[in-house]
Structure 1
Amino acid sequence: MLLAATVLGACGGGNTAQQTAKTPAPADKPAATAPAPAADPKKTDKIYIPVISKGFQHQFWQAVKQGAEKAAKEFQVEITFEGPETESQVDKQIEMLQAALGKNPKAIAFAALDSKASIPLLQKAKAANIPVVGFDSGVDSDIPITTAATDNVAAAALAADKMAELINSEGEIALVVHDQTSRTGIDRRDGFVNRIKEKYPKIKIVDIQYGGGDQLKSTDLAKAIIQAHPNVKGFFGANEGSAIGVLNAVGEMKKDGKIIVIGYDSGKQQIDAIKSGKMAGAITQDPIGIGYWSVKAAVQAIKGETVKKSIDTGFHWYDKTNIDSAEIKPLLYN
């Protein structure tokens, strides 16, 4: 009996070890935590596309996620949507991209925080015949088969025209931009600055600062600019966090009504500020469309269909006069 018990115990331990080795942890996790489709035989044939964004801290990215999930449902593919905690964490995003490549996806949708840093990993994706779709923010490479994004240069130029109109085409202004490494940061800055230089010689840009899209940091930067340039007449905040930071600074410095604030994106705080008159207006993108097209284009590439080299998802100026219009309202998010 003792011998039999020993043999049975050994068999039981062997089976447990074997089960542990054959059952990887990710297979039991929900889709939002980067699934491993090959671990589940029922999902072997399902297309898996990781969608790696620039962050989660703004409502903009939640709207992009909504669009990506809409496309995933429509085209019956499996996606994960992830991004670093803040838009300054380039290294964290690169780690996410590396991990995504390790899951052998059929395609990858990627919004680069740094237009150059990700290129070596994207080259690996290309070598493995994994199509890469850029969204929101492209990279300095022809590896992505397409990029679904706003024409940020044109959109920022429109913001510059609106600023000039509101300050009578003369005076000092400043910019708070989310970064100088992503394609969106570069294009929004240059689109705004170049339009001012080309068309409005009496407007002087006194400072450009980079707040990483963080409201608190952007607030401090804008306050420092106001202190250094007490005659500043206007600010352009180049993304949601930058714009809210500028708004906070103007309020804290008791400059409401004295400094024109123009933003980019929407979200509840900007919507409320525009309705109350604290912000003059802003550029809105179509974040749901950006997310939707990032996944749709990836599916098209996997199927070998023709995909446009760039997908312009559009932009609009909104202010008190049209914020509740049928054209603008669907593009705003709370």
Structure 2
Amino acid sequence: MNLRNRLGVGVVIAAVTTLSIAGCSSGGTVASGGTGSNKKLVFIQGEAPNNFYISMKCGVESAAKRAGYTVTTQGGQKFDPTLQLPIVQSVLANKPTALIIAPTDTSALQQPLQQAVTNGTKLVLVDTTLDTPSIAFSSIASDNKGGGAAAFQAIKKLAPNGGKVLVIDNQPGISTSQERTQGFADGVKTDPKFKNLGVQYAQDDSTKAAQVVSAALQRNRDIVGIFATNVHSAVGAATGVQQAGKTGKVQVVTFDAGPDQVSALKDGTIQALIAQQPEKIGEEGAKAAIAALEGKPFAKNIATGFSIITKADLNSPTSQAALYKSSCS
């Protein structure tokens, strides 16, 4: 069955939707990074082992290679500002001409990145953002609020009689998941048959997410749906539902489409995946950084699309193309 009809979610799988073409950045004159041996970009991931950021790295490297640039990529082992800040400080000490980064906290990264821009670094934000994102030459991210709304519509389709729903998130202060939870909450408000139990945090730890879900299901045996906002929350939520003997009774819809989530989708512990376009985000991030260095215009804000994948259409070419990569080879 067609995915769109099955879930009843009006999702447009857009390659790139420009939100603010009118507000293009000019980038000024050609910087040193756009000439000769200085054609170098630096990419700092939100979390290096994460398939989402691995796919994004592939996009950055592909676009850079086509333009004759090289890329140095670094990232912490977890999505944690205390791990990312030392990496940022080390990178900035070398005064990079262009930096592409997924900030792990909206406020903790604001000051060092502001200083980098003041010192002449061209800044591009990918996936996540800052309290004051205007300091960046360009920002590229998924339509996270729309994805959160789509997650509720998916649960609504799977549990039409309504009931209690719960959100499992990483931690406060992350722009992307805040938008996802807001989109989900706004969706719940449109249907009185559903009650939102709010957000619980798992600190990007699948084991903790499983514990949170298990405890929540013990307290609220009538939960009908769980929305997990990222990879680790998703895997943990699926485990928690399985351990509680609620597989198939509690509908789990998650952001991202990494290998563990795909396995859970096949097993039936996850019912739907909202797959982002991390490779496209990386490609646009590299293009923006190169445009900044070469003094060319580029959109100030770009929103990439997403698709919803279910077990029924997992093997379709469209769904297979949306799954995240484990390597760039």
> Cα deviation per residue 1:182-239 (whole Å; 9 max; x = unaligned)?
1112111111111111x11221112411112221111111111111111111101101
**Pair 1:138 & 2:129 matched:** yes
**CA RMSD, Structure 1 to Structure 2 (Å):** 1.7
Specify the structure having the higher radius of gyration (Cα).
1
Identify the match of residue 180 of structure 1 among 172, 175, 188. Answer: 172
Residue 301 of structure 1 aligns with an amino acid whose one-letter code is A
Residue 194 of structure 1 aligns with an amino acid whose one-letter code is D
Q: State the TM-score, normalized to the length of structure 2.
A: 0.84
Aligned ranges 1:28-39 → 2 under 5 Å? none
Identify the match of residue 116 of structure 1 among 102, 107, 122. Answer: 107
For 2:161 and 2:290, locate their aligned partners in 1 and report how far apart those are by CA, in whole Å: 47
* Contact 1:46–1:78 (Cα < 8 Å) also in 2: no
Identify the match of residue 46 of structure 2 among 54, 60, 65. Answer: 54
* Contact 2:163–2:193 (Cα < 8 Å) also in 1: yes
Cα deviation for residue 137 of structure 1 reads 0.6
**Pair 1:95 & 2:86 matched:** yes
Q: Secondary structure at the match of 1:165?
A: helix
* Contact 1:286–1:313 (Cα < 8 Å) also in 2: yes
Cα deviation for residue 165 of structure 1 reads 1.5
Q: Secondary structure at the match of 2:38?
A: coil
Q: Secondary structure at the match of 1:223?
A: helix
**Pair 1:83 & 2:83 matched:** no
**Pair 1:66 & 2:51 matched:** no
For 1:65 and 1:279, locate their aligned partners in 2 and report how far apart those are by CA, in whole Å: 27
Q: Secondary structure at the match of 1:208?
A: strand
Identify the match of residue 249 of structure 1 among 231, 234, 240. Answer: 240
> Cα deviation per residue 1:69-125 (whole Å; 9 max; x = unaligned)?
2122112222221111111x2122122112111112111111111111111112112
Residue 162 of structure 1 aligns with an amino acid whose one-letter code is A
Q: Secondary structure at the match of 2:49?
A: coil
Q: Secondary structure at the match of 1:116?
A: coil
1:193 aligns to what? 185
For 1:287 and 1:207, locate their aligned partners in 2 and report how far apart those are by CA, in whole Å: 27
> Cα deviation per residue 1:269-312 (whole Å; 9 max; x = unaligned)?
21122233321111001111111211111011110111101122
**Pair 1:220 & 2:211 matched:** yes
Cα deviation for residue 265 of structure 1 reads 0.4
Q: Secondary structure at the match of 2:313?
A: coil
Q: Secondary structure at the match of 1:236?
A: strand
Cα deviation for residue 59 of structure 1 reads 1.5
* Contact 1:169–1:200 (Cα < 8 Å) also in 2: no
Cα deviation for residue 179 of structure 1 reads 2.0
Runs of 4+ in structure 1 off by over 3 angstroms are none
For 1:83 and 1:179, locate their aligned partners in 2 and report how far apart those are by CA, in whole Å: 18
2:253 aligns to what? 262
Structure 1, 171-180 or 65-74: larger mean CA deviation: 65-74
Residues 44, 302 of structure 1: CA spacing in aligned structure 2 closer, same or farther, 3 A cutoff? closer
Residue 154 of structure 2 aligns with an amino acid whose one-letter code is K
Cα deviation for residue 327 of structure 1 reads 2.3
Residue 188 of structure 2 aligns with an amino acid whose one-letter code is I
Residues 219, 57 of structure 1: CA spacing in aligned structure 2 closer, same or farther, 3 A cutoff? farther
1:288 aligns to what? 279
* Contact 1:134–1:294 (Cα < 8 Å) also in 2: yes
Cα deviation for residue 178 of structure 1 reads 1.5
**Pair 1:320 & 2:283 matched:** no
* Contact 2:122–2:293 (Cα < 8 Å) also in 1: yes
Cα deviation for residue 44 of structure 1 reads 6.8
* Contact 1:179–1:186 (Cα < 8 Å) also in 2: no
* Contact 1:234–1:261 (Cα < 8 Å) also in 2: yes
* Contact 1:173–1:233 (Cα < 8 Å) also in 2: yes
Cα deviation for residue 319 of structure 1 reads 0.8
Residue 163 of structure 2 aligns with an amino acid whose one-letter code is G
Identify the match of residue 290 of structure 2 among 292, 299, 317. Answer: 299
Cα deviation for residue 324 of structure 1 reads 2.1
For 2:212 and 2:48, locate their aligned partners in 1 and report how far apart those are by CA, in whole Å: 22
For 2:97 and 2:219, locate their aligned partners in 1 and report how far apart those are by CA, in whole Å: 52
